[in-house]
Amino acid sequence: MDSKTIIMEDHPNCVCSPSDAVKIKAQDINFFYGKQQALKNINLDVLANKITAIIGPSGCGKSTFIRLLNRMHELVVNITLTGRIYLDGQDILGPCVDPVEIRRRIGMVFQKPNPFPKNIFENISYGLEVNGIKNKEFIEGRVIESLKKAALWDEVKDRLHDSALKLSGGQQQRLCIARCLAVKPEVLLFDEPCASLDPISTRKIEELILELKKDYAIVIVTHNMQQAARVSDYTGFFLLGELIEFDKTEKIFKAPKDQRTEDYITGRFG
């Protein structure tokens, strides 16, 4: 608890009321691909039980940023990262921290639905198996629970042993969400989850994300500003690797402080 309070105090961009718990705190993040700087001095808080949207034009560093949060950036070679990222006050970039454990605690849903070429049941039980859970009854219970939470259960309950690749795009994306939920993460990262989906599937995913807010801290990267306005509590606007503005979503969309934010959300560029 102590570390949490300290972090709250020395944070320049803190927009949260004291009652909101900071789940993830990114501090002075600078990130380079080779020599090219992709993120410049980012400070951003993700609050528990809130949805944080990250918007900005293509190539502004949105996806790069959320990939840092669960250390997926380490899969790429020739990168440099400075700064600190705290999860519940613990520095997750530290040398003693196991990225595998961090990735279990911080789930990620990707831009394109990427179910495993396995059946529906196996897709969800996989995360449990790799985390060492062997009890079949437990796994079965968790699979059902996860599918229900991801609002997919009714559509697939009679065909759990069909290939996941037979599902529609929207169903596949909800399966990917269910797959994340099964390993009981604390945070969910969504990297443009609706980019390849039709409007109806998009609405379902958005409803689901709003529902999941009860239990998780959520970060969603999106191209779609209406989506950010619809679902998020806080919004950060990225431009050319900088966090231009970070505030309550309402404020960002109704009364942005920075001219560049206003230009972007009114569609003058991007």
Partner 1 sequence: MRKDIAQKIGFSFISLCMFTTVMFLFAIIYFIGSRGIKVISWEFLTQAPRNAMTAGGVAPAIVGTLYLTLGAVVFALPLGVACAIYLNEYSPKSYIVNIIRLSINNLAGVPSVVFGLFGLAVFVKFFGFGVSILSGSLALGILVLPVIISASQEALLAVPYSLREASLALGATKWQTIRKIVLPAALPGILTGVILSIGRVAGETAPILFTAAAFYLKGYPKSIFSEVMALPYHIYALMTEGAHPEQQTAIAYGCCLILLCLVLFMSAIAIFIRQRQRSHYYG
Residues that bind partner 1 (CB under 8 A): 70, 72, 75, 77, 100-101, 103-105, 107-108, 110, 112, 114-118, 126-127, 129-131, 162-163, 165-166, 176, 179-180, 183
Q: What per-residue string of b and e applies to 89-119 under the rule 16 or more CB within 10 Å gives b?
A: beebbeeeeeeeebebebbbbbbebebeeeb
Contacts of the segment 158-165: beta carbons below 8 A, 24+ positions apart: 159/120, 160/119, 160/120, 160/121, 161/119, 161/120, 161/121, 162/119, 162/120, 163/117, 163/118, 163/119, 163/120, 164/115, 164/116, 164/117, 164/118, 164/119, 164/120, 164/123, 165/115, 165/117
For the CB of residue 190, give the shortest distance to partner 1 in the complex, in Å. Answer: 12
Closer CB to partner 1, 180 or 252, in the complex: 180
Q: Would you say the C-alpha torsion 89, 95, 99, 101 has a positive or negative sign?
A: negative
Tokens matching residue 30: 């600078």
Closest distance of CB 226 from partner 1, Å? 26
CB of 147 to partner 1, least distance (A): 16
Give me the least distance between CB of 48 and partner 1, in Å please: 20
Which residues sit opposite 40 in a β-bridge? Answer: 242
Give min distance, CB of 237 to partner 1, in A: 25
What residues are paired with 36 via a beta bridge? 33
CB nearer partner 1, residue 6 or residue 100:
100
Report the residue number, 28 or 162, with the smaller CB distance to partner 1: 162
CB nearer to partner 1: give 190 or 246: 190
Give the distance, in angstroms, between the CA of residue 93 and the centroid of all CA atoms in the same chain. Answer: 17
Supply the minimum distance, in Å, between the C-beta of residue 133 and partner 1: 11
Q: Which of 18/95 has CB closer to partner 1?
A: 95
Closest CA to 150 of 191, 209, 107: 209
Minimum separation from the CB atom of position 178 to partner 1 (A): 12
**Interior/surface letters 65-74, b for 16+ CB within 10 angstroms, e for the rest:** bbbbbbbbbe
Our CB check for partner 1 shows the closer of 114 and 259 to be 114
Closer residue to partner 1 in complex, CB, 172/222: 172
